[in-house]
Amino acid sequence: MKKLVAGLAIAGVVGALVLIGSVHVISGSALRFPKIVKKDAFGFRESFVSLDRIAGMPAERITAEYPVSSPVLFRKRIIWVEPAASQR
């Protein structure tokens, strides 16, 4: 029985790590519930992203500070920014 419990615990931890490494959990005051979005590649960087921290940043800064999640956030239109004056 102890081996079964230990095996289930290990499977649960491994499953949680695989899940966290495969998705971005996007939260923020503008969202009623957190959004879960598939990552482009497996990894633990930027698994949890707060839209409140990104709000008001220009696109270049978002891309520089959030290189893993920003492509997904822009592609899924979770965030968008106005074009810079030089790009108009």
Of residues 55 and 16, the one with the higher pLDDT is 16
CA–CA gap between residue 32 and residue 27 (Å, rounded) = 9
H/E/C letters for each residue in the chain?
CHHHHHHHHHHHHHHHHHHHHHEEEEECCCCCCCEEEECCCCCCCCCEEEHHHHCCCCHHHHHHHCCCCHHHHHHCCCCCCCCCHHHC
pLDDT at 1 over 70: yes
Tokens linked to 3? 């081996």
pLDDT at 88 over 80: no
Q: What is the pLDDT of residues 23-65, one digit of tens each?
A: 999 999 989 999 999 999 999 999 999 999 998 899 999 999 9
